[in-house]
Every structure is written in structure tokens, then in C-alpha cells.
Amino acid sequence: MRIAAILEYDGSAFSGWQRQEQARSVQAAVEAALSKVADEPIHVTVAGRTDAGVHALAQALHFDTSAVRGEYSWVRGTNTHLPPDVALLWAAPVDEGFHARYSATGRHYHYIILNRPVRPTYLARRVTHEYRLLDVAPMQAAAKHLIGEHDFTSFRAVECQAKSPIRVLRGLEVQRHGEFVHIHAHANAFLHHMVRNLAGALMAIGAGEREPDWARQVLEARDRRAGGVTAAPDGLYLREIAYPDSFKLPRLSRDVGLW
């Protein structure tokens, strides 16, 4: 039986999604909890691996199991064995043709910047701090240069293992709400560090270091060295994974709740 599930987690204390020998990972915590409920080893496939410090509001995964459990038992039982910074929101049987990664049609990320002179306290690790005043108008103007299907080599990590740097950036919006600046990114898929590199470039433009047209120049360079600083993982949230309606996964996307 193939089971699909949706997770929420605070990535602050994790080395990232992927299992690692000497570091705490979300994958290891989730597989250990699911294995206890199933009473057999469980190995999961995730929609997209998140970096160290990155959070998820609705991360999707699937796994195959011979264990027969009700939807309530999967959720309630797994949460009993998960650490406080991870929660299983939903789980149910799906068609065997469903694949958490390859069936996805889109991914949504949300990046939050606390834009004030003083560093955060209770929001530390949940927002990125920028002490320089950011002007969102040139940031949004720059974002328009990046929308569409492009070679995003300049915005991916040097160690990115994706076979192709071509991605379709469907939306990139910058908004201010009081002391907070929000960046919403929507694409068919993202490269390693792509959202953080986009955010880093937009922040440089918002701070007046660069003009909006610089974003187009960086994109056309197809060289990571042209792209500037990689923004911190703090404040980055995987908000939603989109799938065809035929798979009947619930849409659990919601606002982060930080303004």
C-alpha cells in the first residue's frame, strides 16, 4: 500500500531534511516514528529536500508499507513518536502511481525578512534580519525580470546536483507589512539554494546596492559568481506542494502568521 502524508516542521534545530550520519535530520525523525507505527522499517520519499534551518508548513512525502492502519492511526500514532518540532498533519492511502517528487506540479516558498535596525528576539531563526531599510518597489521591479522559463544557473548552489538548471518561475512577489518584508516564490521546481539566492539578490537591490536591472544581468550571466550573497535559511518556509486534483491530496497551505 502506498501512503501519502503531509508534514509541518520547524527546521531551526535540524541539519536539513536529508538523513545524515552525524547530524539531526527531519528524515531520520520521520522514518523512525513511522516505523514504530507500522512495526516495520519505513523509508520515505519527499517532495523536496529542505536545507538546514528551513521550515515547512506542508511538506509532502510518500512511503510503501504492508502495514494496515487507519488514517487517524497513522497521524495520531506517528505524532506520538515525533519530536516537538515535527508534526504529521495528514496521511492516507493513494494510488500507486503517486510520487511525492515526480507527481508534483508546483512548489511554493515564503521568505520573511524582519526589516528593522534591531535584531529579532522571540522570532530568531523564524525570520531573516536585515537592518538596512529595504525599498520593496525596486525589489518587485527586479523580480519581474526573473519570471518565466529560464536557465537559473546564477541562482543555484555550486554543488547543486540537478541535471538541468532550467526552471519555470511562475511567480515572485515582494510585499511589505510593517516591519516585515515578504517574498513569495512559486515555480514548477526549485534548484538547490535557488530561493535563498533570489532573496539575496532582491535584498541587495532593496538596500540600494544594485539597480533592478541587475537581476536580469545576473540571470543572463549563467554564473553563480555573478549572483551575490546567499540569504540565510532563517525565515524560509516551504509553504505548499501542488499536485493534480486526481490524487485528492488536501491543500493545507496557509499563511505563516508573521506580519
Give the catalytic positions in this structure. Answer: 51
Give me the helices (H) in 52-186, please: 71-81, 136-144
**156 in Cβ contact with 224 (< 8 Å):** yes
What's the CA gap between 32 and 92, in Å, rounded?
18
Measuring CA to CA, how many Å separate 63 from each of 43, 66, 208, 258? 6, 10, 47, 32
Write the single-letter amino acid at 214.
W
What's the CA gap between 12 and 55, in Å, rounded?
7
What's the CA gap between 8 and 59, in Å, rounded?
6
**233 in Cβ contact with 54 (< 8 Å):** yes
What's the CA gap between 78 and 44, in Å, rounded?
13
Return the axis-axis angle of helices 214-221 and 194-206, rounded to nearest 10°: 150
DSSP per-residue codes, 131-179: -SPP-HHHHHHHHHTT-EEEE-GGGS-TT---S--EEEEEEEEEEEETT
Backbone angles phi, psi at 128, to 5 degrees: -90, 140
